[in-house]
């Protein structure tokens, strides 16, 4: 994860922060684990593991409507 930072100093700083978080119980989500460091093989990859949408009503129309907005 820290390899994307510019310069050895920043990479080392964030490497230590990430390692500390992992050692203290943080568990990265599936997409983060699957895509971290994969840019060389999958250039359009993202480690973003959540999306933001407006309120979704309890109906298939609302659910599918928001799904179409996300495309």
Say what the pLDDT of residue 71 is.
60
Say what the pLDDT of residue 27 is.
78
Tokens coding 39: 């840019």
Say what the pLDDT of residue 16 is.
94
Show me where the domains of the chain are located: 2-70
Residue pLDDT, tens place only, 4-24:
789 999 999 999 998 998 899
Say what the pLDDT of residue 50 is.
64
Q: For all residues of the chain together, what is the average pLDDT?
A: 80
Farthest-apart Cα atoms in the chain, separation:
51
Instruction: Report the C-alpha gap between 41 and 4 in whole angstroms.
Output: 15
* Stated pTM of the model: 0.48
Phi, psi of 45 (to 5 degrees): -70, 160
- Spatial CA neighbour of 45 closest among 56, 54, 53, 36: 36
How much is the average pLDDT of 40-64?
77
């Amino acid at each position: 994860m820290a390899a994307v930072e510019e310069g050895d100093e920043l990479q080392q700083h964030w490497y230590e922060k990430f390692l500390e978080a992992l050692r203290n119980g943080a568990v990265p989500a599936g997409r983060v684990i699957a895509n971290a460091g994969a840019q060389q093989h999958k250039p359009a990859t993202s480690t973003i593991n959540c999306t933001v949408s407006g309120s979704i009503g309890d109906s298939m129309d609302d659910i599918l409507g928001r799904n179409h907005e996300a495309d």
